């Protein structure tokens, strides 16, 4: 019986992981209120946790959750006339603002979650709040995980999320598909939100696993929808290509026990060549025409890694040149950190370390464990083992996942026994 309970429990967890974002988006589209949708989504999941372990997971779990959540929402509206009146006004205003009936919008938009992505990227919202709102309510990340993704304290992120929801309510931002003229201006925020989901899936911010494959594949799925919706947008092709080229390495990034395997030691025969070829074709699209965007450039860098037979034969001069372009497009300390690592491969560890030292006072890197980890690696390669050990210890105070922690501990032990 215990084994059966564990099986049901894992099935329930898998359903929640798959259905939560879809459920929330459907409820937001139906009722027009993010707080109400979030509350009844949580209530539906709580009801499932009560019934499913004994009754079994329904054949259509998403439909079960949606029906339960809708009933809870209707009950809430019946009890709260003020809320019901406010939502009625919002829905009437949204209908007047739309030039096409909802059915037409649904035909144009193949997924309710994508509609909510564009809503969360509305220009009335602060730029720093858009991706955070999307990660929390569409990807289903916890507030702490979203905070890690944006390199801010959890309390700060919690305030951002509350502020963003309040802005949506007070500004009466409609939950609808933007018109064709609005889409290009809203697209960069949507792409960033999708990429943030992928980043959390590729390199989880916390937990027992290095990767969250479900999140990465969800981001790729959303990227494919965006590509179908906006086929002329080269940055959509660039983002999808980037995600495919990186995700192609997923099976080689961990060992049988879940241990992290660095790029240098990965079995490239396990990389997904079909995914790589698709990603490379998208790079061509992203780089054809006018000056490329940041996702197209990042995809080109990923393609250089995937095309090389090993780390030593990677075209590091070209990688650095692309990082130079990317740094001009996105003057970010994270980009500068990655460029420094590439310079270390091209010119040697001393050159890379000098660039990392220039970033020592960058506030956004202080809570970012890859920075001290990168310094530790270069210091180790230079034979400066005491300094490397100190840097590894700093990285260990910041690292989130167990595989990364285990790797850093092994490196720390290696330099302390030299």
The per-residue pLDDT for 218 is 83
The per-residue pLDDT for 325 is 97
The per-residue pLDDT for 111 is 60
| Alpha carbon distance 132, 160 (integer Å) | 8
Which regions of the chain are under pLDDT 50?
A: 1-6, 8, 93-94, 96-110
The per-residue pLDDT for 12 is 63
- Both structure tokens of 87: 């939502």
Contact predicate 128/160, CB 8 Å: yes
Query: Taking Cα atoms as reference points, which of 144, 137, 134, 120 lies closest to residue 206?
Result: 144
The per-residue pLDDT for 148 is 76
List pLDDT tens digits, range 205-219. Answer: 777 888 888 889 888
Tokens 């979030």 correspond to: 38
Return the biggest CA–CA distance within the chain: 72
Tokens 């995937």 correspond to: 306
The per-residue pLDDT for 33 is 80
Contact predicate 408/396, CB 8 Å: yes
From residue 25, alpha-carbon distances to 71, 243, 248, 291 in Å are 16, 23, 29, 35
Tokens 């030691």 correspond to: 265
The per-residue pLDDT for 213 is 87
| Alpha carbon distance 243, 245 (integer Å) | 6
Contact predicate 269/310, CB 8 Å: no
Tokens 């709260």 correspond to: 80
- What's the whole-number average pLDDT of the chain? 85
The per-residue pLDDT for 311 is 95
Query: Taking Cα atoms as reference points, which of 337, 393, 401, 394 lies closest to residue 365?
Result: 337
From residue 186, alpha-carbon distances to 99, 123, 321, 366 in Å are 19, 7, 29, 31
The per-residue pLDDT for 18 is 64
The per-residue pLDDT for 23 is 86
Report all structural domains of the chain as residue ranges with CATH numbers, in order of start.
Answer: 1-97 (no CATH), 333-418 (1.25.40.10)
Helix (H, G, I), strand (E, B) or coil at 109: coil
The per-residue pLDDT for 89 is 54
């Amino acid at each position: 019986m215990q084994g059966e309970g564990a099986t049901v429990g894992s099935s329930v967890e898998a359903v929640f992981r798959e259905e939560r974002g879809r459920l929330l988006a459907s409820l937001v589209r139906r009722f027009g209120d993010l707080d109400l949708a979030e509350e009844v989504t949580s209530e539906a999941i709580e009801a499932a946790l009560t019934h499913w372990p004994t009754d079994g997971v329904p054949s259509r779990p998403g439909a079960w959750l949606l029906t339960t959540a809708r009933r809870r929402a209707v009950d809430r509206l019946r009890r709260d006339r003020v809320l019901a009146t406010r939502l009625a006004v919002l829905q009437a205003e949204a209908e007047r603002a739309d030039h096409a009936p909802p059915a037409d919008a649904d035909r144009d938009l193949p997924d309710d979650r994508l509609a909510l992505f564009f809503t969360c990227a509305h220009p009335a919202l602060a730029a720093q709040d858009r991706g955070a709102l999307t990660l929390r309510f569409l990807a289903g990340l916890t507030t702490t995980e979203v905070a890690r993704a944006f390199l801010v304290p959890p309390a700060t992120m919690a305030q951002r999320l509350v502020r963003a929801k309040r802005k949506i309510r007070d500004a009466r931002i409609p939950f609808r598909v933007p018109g064709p003229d609005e889409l290009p201006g809203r697209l960069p925020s949507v792409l960033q939100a999708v990429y943030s989901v992928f980043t959390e899936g590729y390199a989880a911010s916390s937990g027992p696993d290095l990767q969250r494959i479900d999140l990465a594949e969800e981001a790729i799925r959303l990227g494919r929808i965006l590509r179908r919706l906006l086929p002329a947008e080269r940055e959509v092709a660039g983002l999808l290509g980037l995600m495919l080229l990186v995700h192609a390495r997923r099976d080689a990034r961990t060992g049988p026990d879940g241990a992290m395997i660095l790029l240098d030691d990965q079995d490239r025969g396990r990389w997904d060549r079909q995914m790589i070829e698709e990603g490379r074709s998208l790079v061509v699209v992203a780089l054809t025409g006018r000056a490329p965007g940041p996702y197209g450039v990042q995809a080109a860098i990923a393609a250089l890694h995937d095309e090389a037979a090993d780390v030593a034969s990677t075209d590091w001069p070209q990688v650095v040149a692309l990082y130079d372009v990317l740094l001009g497009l996105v003057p970010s300390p994270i980009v500068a950190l990655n460029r420094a690592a590439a310079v270390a491969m091209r010119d040697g560890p001393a050159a890379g370390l000098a660039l990392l030292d220039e970033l020592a006072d960058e506030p956004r890197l202080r809570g970012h464990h890859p920075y001290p980890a990168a310094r530790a690696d270069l210091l180790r390669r230079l034979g400066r083992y005491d300094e490397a050990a100190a840097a590894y210890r700093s990285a260990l105070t910041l690292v989130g996942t167990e595989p990364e922690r285990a790797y850093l501990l092994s490196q720390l032990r290696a330099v302390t026994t030299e």
